[in-house]
Each structure stands twice: as C-alpha cells, then as structure tokens.
Structure 1
Amino acid sequence: MGRRTASTRLQAALAASAVAAATGVILTVPETPASAAAAGATGYASRNGGTTGGAGGQTVRATTGTQIHAALCGRASSSTPITIQVEGTINHANTAKVSGSSCDTADGVIELKQISNVTLVGVGSGAVFDQLGIHIRESSNIIIQNVTVRNVKKSGSPTSNGGDAIGMERDVRNVWVDHVTLEASGGESEGYDGLFDMKDNTQYVTLSYSVLRNSGRGGLVGSSETELSNSFITYHHNLYENIDSRAPLLRGGTAHMYDNHYRQLNSSGINSRAGAHAKVENNYFQNSKDVLGTFYTTTVGYWQVAGNVFDNVTWSPASGDYRPAGPNPTSNTTVSIPYAYTLDDASCVPGVVARTAGANKGLLVSDGSCAPQSPSPTPTPTPTATATTAPPSGTNLSIGAGSDGSGKAEGTSYGNVRDGDLGTYWSPVGTTGSVSVKWGSPTRISSVRIREAAGAGTVTGWRLLNADTGAVLATGGTAGTITFPATTLSKVTFEITAATGTPRVAEFETYA
C-alpha cells in the first residue's frame, strides 16, 4: 500500500579478531548506561523461561556492521552470551559477512541467525542502522535496545532484509525489542515493507517503549491466512505515527496491546484476523481511521477491549471483507494474560509515551503512575583482581612476541615492554593509554606481570583485556602480578585508566 503522507571455536575467534583489526578493534566499553535490559524483559518476552539476552557474558563495542558480525563469530559457541554495544551509523558500506562456527552472517544485513543469548544495544551518541535491516532467524533469547533502524528497502537500491526494519522468521523464541525507533519514508510503492514483522513460528516477543512511524505497514504476525504458528506477542508504551495499516496485522495467535499511542493511522490499525485473539486496553487512538477490526479478509479475528480512548477516530461501515470494530468497539472474546503488568491510565498515555518511547530517550519507563522514571538496573559484577608483588613461575611468553598500543610518548617504544630490560619502557601520551602483547598463533596465559620503571607516575587503575574479543579479564588498582582464569588468545591488552602522572611500563610479562 502506497503512502499518502510523507514525512571451529578458536578459528572463529581468530577470524573475528582479524576482521576487527581490519575494520577497527572491538573494545570493551568503559561506561555502561543504565539499561532496561538489566531491569528485565516485560510482557510475553518474560515467559517461556524469560529473555535475558547476553547477560552474564562479555561486553564488546562495535562501530560497524562487520564488527557486530565479528563479535558474534568470535564467541566460543553460538550460545555463548554476549552484549554488543553499538555506536555510530551502521550501513551497507561497513557491513560484511564474517564466517565462523558460532555464526551465520551475510552482507548487507545484520544477521542474527541460529544463535542465542545476544544483546544488541545502542550506547554513547547513539546507534543508527541506515537502510540496513536486522534479521532474526532460528534464534532465541535476543534483546535489541536503544537503536534506530531507518529506510530499509525491499526494492530500489540498496535493499536489505526484504524491506523489514526488524524481521523475525522460522522458529524464533523470546525476543525483547525495547526503546527503539523504526521508521521508513513511505510505503510499498516507494520500496519499503514492514517495520516489525514476525512469521513462521515466532513466539514470546515484546515490543516496548518504541516508535514506529512514516510507513505504509507497521508490522505483521503471520505471513498468510494459513500460517498461524506465531503467537504470544506484547506491544506496550509504543507510538505508532503516520502508519497506513498493520498496526499490527495479526494472523492467528494471541497478542496484548496496552498503553500504546496510535496517532494518524491512515487506513486501518489493529487488524485481528484468521482467528487471532487480541487484548486491547488503555490505549490512546488519535486522529485515525478504523483503528481496530478485521480488514481485507473474511476470516475474522477477535478482541477484548477495555479502557481505551478514541480521540477523533472515524469508522467506515462494515461490508464484505472489511469489518471495523467501531464506532463503539465492544469485546467479542476474553483473553487471559499470564504475566503481571501495571496499566497507565489511557488519558496520560500520549504524555508518557512522548517522554519514554524511542531510541536515545534515556531508557525511561513507566510504573503505571503516569510518571516516567529510570529503570532499576541489576548491577553487573566486574571481574576484579588484586595485583601482588610475587613473580609468576615459568617462562615469560612476551619475549619474542609482538606489541602495539594506543599511543606512545616521545622516546618510548611498545617493544620496550617485552625486551627483558627494566631500563627501557613504554609510556602513554598523558596519564592513560594501553599497550598490548600479541602472538602469531593462539597462546594460553593465566597471569601477567606489569613491572613499572622508577622515577615517574605510578598506575592506580587498570583493566586487562582479551583483545581478540574485548572481554575484561580483570580490573584493579596498583600494578603487579595479575592472575585470572586461563585464557587462549592471540593478543592481551593492559589498559591504564588512572595514574599519578605519566606512568612508565618497563615490562609486560605473560605466563601460562
């Protein structure tokens, strides 16, 4: 419908490391904003074992689509938990296929295929997927949060993801999409398809605190009148704005819509058909047409309505395959909801949604009091270590290895940290920076020893990173001997986060 208004595990890790080196190293992010993911999934995504994404796994940063794929491919397995923090614009030019045993990626789309336990979250100045869709297939336990996906096309150039901003298909379970902005610049005639589509046995999904706008199609559940394997979808505190239809289209299954603001639905809104059951409560429908009913089919669906506001909504007469629920919508079924939730009064939904929904809104949520607030995150433990003065036993594996870093002060060298000479050293430019030791083949280490040269500032804060994956191996204050669980890697980084003056690292020793 056209728009009428504008507006093998180790090999995988090494492959990921090589790609990251070519496109910008994936680094663990120093700062983590308060995250609604930490507060827990809501709606149907909280059922069927819950949706936790990458909780408990490593956290890495990506600034390109290729780095996102590299992070997925660098995991020990396709189910190893990972949180990928994304910043910047992700587009066709920086999104390439990466291969590995823990992933199945592709060019020109963010491919979350045959994987589980992944969080994709926008951080810093924001994450924008520009003309590039996110495709979830044969996957489970996925969180997508605080990102913008815009202008994904199925025709014209460039095309991605069949024209869907976010699309799920084939045996997908437990997906939570939260605080995202999904937008197009027209309808099918302009090359766009759906903003949020689910088909081929997709279940236990929640879309919350998000904006869907300027599209011919908001989204669907089920690809045909006979494809009825999709169910248990929650939509709450979302803004649907300037959408022609499919807000959403439901073919079979059960869906729950509460506390959403629907504004300028141009042709039709919630389309319950093919036996679908929708609970529609405390929503605010505004300046729209035929916001609920069974449309474009004689295979009817059902709804339970309560507490909704209809503000300047027009209704067409019922005829043939077009059956609006209005002008005075009443329930024709009862839908039982298996999870706890608290409703905002429909009268305050426009205000609450305006302050909370979409990317880069601070992840604000509502507790039913019509007063947006920050979520209550669950603190994530950080690996810590106390450096000792006792030297490790064994051979210093840094001798004969390579090295690099973030920058070096005049007269110093990265190579000085692995030459066995305490009289030479590396210093960062300023008081903070990083230096790495690297090998041409995978090397197993379980301790490092940082030896500082005398006569300069001393290290008072540091992090030790697996540079292949960005995982934090340990953090601490003063430098010395650092032990951690044995890890096989090709590069290890010592990052100085605080120091009293400019530090001098004489030796960066590594031991098995």
Structure 2
Amino acid sequence: MRRPVVVRFSAIAATAACVAAVGVALSMPEASAAAAGATGYASQNGGTTGGAGGQTVKATTGTQIHAALCGRATSSTPIIIQVEGTINHGNTTKVSGSSCNTAADRIELKQISNVTIVGVGSGAVFDQLGIHVRESSNIIIQNVTVRNVKKSGSPISNGGDAIGMETDVRNVWVDHTSLEASGGESEGYDGLFDLKDNTQYVTLSYSTLRNSGRGGLVGSSETELSNGFITYDHNLYENIDSRTPLLRGGTAHIYNNYYVSLNESGINSRAGAHAKVDNNYFKDSKDVLGTFYTSAAGYWQVSGNTFDNVTWSAPGSENNPAGPDPTSNTTVSIPYAYTLDNASCVPALVTRTAGANKGLLVSDGSCTVTSPSPTPTSTGSTPTPTPTPTATPPSGTNLSLGAGADGSSKASGTSYGNVLDGSLSTYWSPSASTGSISVKWGSATTVSKVNIRETSGAAGRIGSWRVLNGDTGAVLTSGSGAGVITFPSVSAKKITFEITGATGTPQVAEFETYAG
C-alpha cells in the first residue's frame, strides 16, 4: 500500500462542582454549527438534531468533554460541546456522574443522547484518541480531525477505530470530519469509520478518509446483520486498501463521493447488503465495487458513476467484481429527498468542501459550492471566513530566498529546494496527491503572507490546504487553491504548506513568504 507519512451529576450543585474542577465554561444556548440540519438517513427515524437547544460548553481537553457530559441534569439533556485544540491521552481522563459513562482511553459517548461535538476556532484534533458511540442516539460530530488511532502498539484507543459505533446506536450525523491513519492493521490501525451491533440511521458526509488499510465497515461479521440505513455522500476516500465501505447486510446510499487510490478493493457489498451507488468518481483504483473475500453475495444499483483508470480482477469463487462494465443487480428505494451532482464535477467539489476546517462548505446539488451556516467559532467570537487566495503578487521581500526547505515526501525528479530557487520551471511534488512542503530559517522570522505558485502545466491542481506554524503545528489558516494567502502575523522558524486535497499531482514551483 502506498502510505505517505502524515505530517502531523444530577444535582445543580454537583454539576457546578464538576464543571469548575476541569475549567469548562458554560454559556447561554446558541445555535449549533449543524444548524442546516442532518442529511441522508440521519434525517430519518425522527431526525438528528444533536444538542440543539441545549447549553453550549467550551472544551479544550478530553477531560472537559467528559465533564460536560457528566455535568448535565440527565443523560438526555441537550448539550453542544465546542472543542478547540488537541485532545489526546494526556488530557483525557474518566469523569463520573449519573448522566455519563466515560473512559480514560477514548472520548466515550455511551448511554447518552442529544449531544453535538463540534470543532471551533483554530480546529479540534483528536490525536491518537478515538471517538466511541455506544448505546446512544441523536449525536452530531462535526468539523473535527481524528488521526492515528491504534488498536495495537502504544497508545491504544477505541479498538483502533477513529470513529466507532456499536450496540443499539440510532441517528448519528458525522459531517465535515477528517479521519486519518498512517498505515494498516500491521502498523496497529483498524477502521476509520466502523458501525456494528445494531447501528442504524447514520450519515457520513463531506468528510475525508485517508491513508488507512481499512476505510470502514457496517457489521462485524456475516451473521451480525442488524445494521443499516447508512448514507455516505460527498466524502473523499484516498489511499485506502479496502472497505470504502464494507457492507454486511443492511442498506447504504453512496453518492457523490470521490475515491482515489483504492489499492485492493472499494465498496464491498456482501451478505445480502443493498447499496445504491450514484454519481461517484473513482480514480486510479482497483476493484472499486463488488463482493469480495466471500461467497455471501451482496447487491448494488449503479448509475452515473465515472471510472477513471480503474482496473478489475477476474471473477472467482470469493470475488465478484462489478466491473469492468458495472450494471445493477437490484433496486434500492431511498426515502429522503436529495439532489445529485454530476460525477464530472465531484473531484473538484469534494476536494474543496470535504474535511474539517473547510467552513462547512457544501454543494447546492448543481456542482456549486455554498455555505449553509457560519464557520464554527468559539462562543462569543466572530466567525472567520474561509480564505480565498488571490492572484495579485505581494510586495516586499520574499523571505524564502536564502532559507531552507523540507517536506513530507517528494516525487522522483523533484526537490524541496526547488520551491526556493526563484524559477517557475523547477518544482516540488509530493509522492502522492497530498503532502506538505516547509520553508525554514535559522532563527524566528515574522511571516503573515505566503504565495504558492504552481507550474503552468499543473495550474489548478491544488485543492484544499492548511498553512501551519511548523514550530508548534498550529493551523494558521486553511482554504483551497493556489495563490497569495494571508493570516495573522506569526514569528516562527518554520512555515508549512500542507496540501490535503488535489485533483492531480501538485507541482509547487515557488513557496514565497512575506512579512506583510
């Protein structure tokens, strides 16, 4: 597998005491970042509203998230938890109370309901710490990054799943999340998005799933067929070995997703599963749809999909690929309204909108990007719009000239130093379609603007990106497209430009930096 390294209580008095102990600040109720409402199957069975109408709580540690859950009057009292910063094992402990059931090694949403967890401000990263939903309902998880969760090695969390749901879960909407690993099972990772043991009415939308052996499953075995009614729409699956998803029974609606570099297999419908697969774009991948690794057949209805450089295996006793000319072998009825974007625009559309810190951008159903609600921000702060790079060259001295450079990877024939040589004919490319390039200095340098210049032959390939303080890893800004990018002035020895989505292999000719 081609795996680029990812750079990377019930009484009022008891409630107040729990909150004060961990420094959680409560505010008056305000609108959730998910105000536009859940889509897909999460909109059915009474709908998914999360913590709408409840208190808004700010959390910067996992312990504070647990304390917010435990500080509610009951396990079903609505609450919106705004998360900012890095959540990890070091700041996540078990908190006890009558309205919660938490654990120290994961974010535990167990035996609760009516909760929204949403990333705000500079972003929420769950680092090596998974989110576990169990015996719960009406949950929204939005605008967060979950990365490098392990089931073996150290530290372990959540059985190795970035987001995992099991045991009588109902109505969960996971939206605009970034789910990432750095390898497969042999490296200690499991699935990015797993649903098991009677989990139903779930939507995964506008999210990225990257660099993993397993994208996710529905059902833990071919005799555990109690799961279903799952929607996957406008997600990016990139550099995944298999399970995008693996369906064991149940019904799934899979539409307008962008699949790149599925290395072994993709949508695996088996054990009687029914999948409606509409207007997706599959690129540079193998066996993207079918029944694989079993003789227990699954079914699919296909329409409007694009297969770009997709290869197919020959049928066998335990492999039944749908291609090379996929046709439907069932019909699937969808109970909710939806509008399909044409598959031809899916790569650009998903690259721009999918993942955390994208301003919750979505499609209007006609290949046009729109914003259904403000970018989530901390309580009381002013929403920060997603920046759009400009083409006007900045004035002043290019601080990159004479500096050093490094990065996450480089394609054959390219060099990190090429982005500092003042020439548009030389360039750096990552070894995959995503990666990072950094400019570094011997001493702290003040920077508030960068100019990313692509080669003329690769103009427009860069999709989503983040600019990072290379010293601390803090996200300075995020957006899409090359050009001049501004952000609040920062003093650092290293500034990193991280490409998180692209329509082809990027070619960065120059990475210019400016003080103002």
TM-score, normalised via structure 1 length: 0.71
Determine the C-alpha separation between the residues in 2 that align with 1:29 and 1:91.
Answer: 28
Match of 1:113 in 2: 110
Q: How many residues align?
A: 374
Specify the SS of the correspondent of 2:50.
coil
Specify the SS of the correspondent of 2:346.
helix
Q: CA deviation at 1:368?
A: 1.0
1:352 aligns with 2:371: no
1:210 aligns with 2:207: yes
Q: 1:316 aligns with which of 310, 313, 317?
A: 313
Match of 1:444 in 2: none
Match of 1:123 in 2: 120
Match of 1:71 in 2: 68
Could you give the per-residue CA deviations for residues 178-235 of structure 1, whole angstroms, max 9, x where no partner exists? Answer: 0000000000000000000000000000000000000000000000000000000000
Could you give the per-residue CA deviations for residues 391-414 of structure 1, whole angstroms, max 9, x where no partner exists? Answer: xxxxxxxxxxxxxxxxxxxxxxxx
CA contact (8 A) 2:58 2:81 kept: yes
Specify the SS of the correspondent of 2:114.
strand
1:96 aligns with 2:101: no
Determine the C-alpha separation between the residues in 1 that align with 2:274 and 2:29.
Answer: 45
CA contact (8 A) 2:252 2:274 kept: yes
Determine the C-alpha separation between the residues in 2 that align with 1:31 and 1:138.
Answer: 27
Match of 2:415 in 1: none
Distance 1:149 1:233, change over 3 A: same
Determine the C-alpha separation between the residues in 1 that align with 2:361 and 2:150.
Answer: 30
Determine the C-alpha separation between the residues in 1 that align with 2:58 and 2:64.
Answer: 8
1:294 aligns with 2:285: no
Determine the C-alpha separation between the residues in 1 that align with 2:287 and 2:102.
Answer: 40
Q: How does 1:206-285 map to 2 (within 5 A)?
A: 206-285=203-282
1:5 aligns with 2:14: no
Match of 2:24 in 1: 25
Determine the C-alpha separation between the residues in 2 that align with 1:29 and 1:260.
Answer: 37
Match of 1:480 in 2: none
> Structure 2: which amino acid aligns with 1:275?
G
Determine the C-alpha separation between the residues in 2 that align with 1:362 and 1:376.
Answer: 8
Match of 1:200 in 2: 197
Q: CA deviation at 1:20?
A: 4.0
Match of 2:412 in 1: none
Structure 1 unmatched ranges of 5 or more: 383-512
Determine the C-alpha separation between the residues in 2 that align with 1:28 and 1:360.
Answer: 23
Structure 2 unmatched ranges of 5 or more: 380-516
CA contact (8 A) 1:63 1:86 kept: yes
Moved more, 23-32 or 165-174: 23-32
Q: How does 1:172-211 map to 2 (within 5 A)?
A: 172-211=169-208
> Structure 1: which amino acid aligns with 2:258?
H
Determine the C-alpha separation between the residues in 2 that align with 1:247 and 1:227.
Answer: 19
Specify the SS of the correspondent of 1:328.
coil
Determine the C-alpha separation between the residues in 1 that align with 2:25 and 2:328.
Answer: 52
Moved more, 16-25 or 232-241: 16-25
CA contact (8 A) 1:163 1:194 kept: yes
Specify the SS of the correspondent of 2:332.
coil
Moved more, 367-376 or 244-253: 367-376
1:149 aligns with 2:150: no
Q: CA deviation at 1:175?
A: 0.1
Determine the C-alpha separation between the residues in 2 that align with 1:230 and 1:25.
Answer: 36
Specify the SS of the correspondent of 1:38.
coil
Specify the SS of the correspondent of 2:68.
helix
Q: CA deviation at 1:28?
A: 3.0
Determine the C-alpha separation between the residues in 2 that align with 1:372 and 1:177.
Answer: 19
Determine the C-alpha separation between the residues in 2 that align with 1:253 and 1:149.
Answer: 26
Match of 1:52 in 2: 49
CA contact (8 A) 1:17 1:70 kept: no
Match of 2:467 in 1: none
CA contact (8 A) 1:27 1:62 kept: no
Specify the SS of the correspondent of 1:86.
strand
CA contact (8 A) 2:2 2:239 kept: no
Match of 2:476 in 1: none
Match of 2:492 in 1: none
CA contact (8 A) 1:146 1:178 kept: yes
Specify the SS of the correspondent of 2:362.
coil
CA contact (8 A) 2:139 2:173 kept: yes
Could you give the per-residue CA deviations for residues 263-307 of structure 1, whole angstroms, max 9, x where no partner exists? Answer: 000000000000000000000000000000000000010000000
Q: 1:339 aligns with which of 336, 340, 344?
A: 336
Determine the C-alpha separation between the residues in 1 that align with 2:247 and 2:25.
Answer: 40
CA contact (8 A) 1:29 1:85 kept: no
CA contact (8 A) 2:29 2:54 kept: no
Could you give the per-residue CA deviations for residues 409-468 of structure 1, whole angstroms, max 9, x where no partner exists? Answer: xxxxxxxxxxxxxxxxxxxxxxxxxxxxxxxxxxxxxxxxxxxxxxxxxxxxxxxxxxxx
> Structure 1: which amino acid aligns with 2:339?
T
Determine the C-alpha separation between the residues in 1 that align with 2:136 and 2:291.
Answer: 31
Match of 1:421 in 2: none
Determine the C-alpha separation between the residues in 2 that align with 1:319 and 1:30.
Answer: 57
Specify the SS of the correspondent of 1:352.
helix
Q: 1:138 aligns with which of 135, 153, 156?
A: 135
> Structure 2: which amino acid aligns with 1:9?
S
Distance 1:29 1:152, change over 3 A: farther
CA contact (8 A) 1:145 1:178 kept: yes
1:80 aligns with 2:77: yes
TM-score, normalised via structure 2 length: 0.70
Q: CA deviation at 1:25?
A: 3.3
Match of 2:385 in 1: none
> Structure 2: which amino acid aligns with 1:357?
A
Q: CA deviation at 1:31?
A: 9.2
What is the RMSD computed on CA atoms of the aligned residues?
1.9
Q: CA deviation at 1:371?
A: 1.1
Determine the C-alpha separation between the residues in 2 that align with 1:199 and 1:288.
Answer: 27
CA contact (8 A) 1:294 1:300 kept: yes
Determine the C-alpha separation between the residues in 2 that align with 1:179 and 1:171.
Answer: 24
Match of 2:489 in 1: none
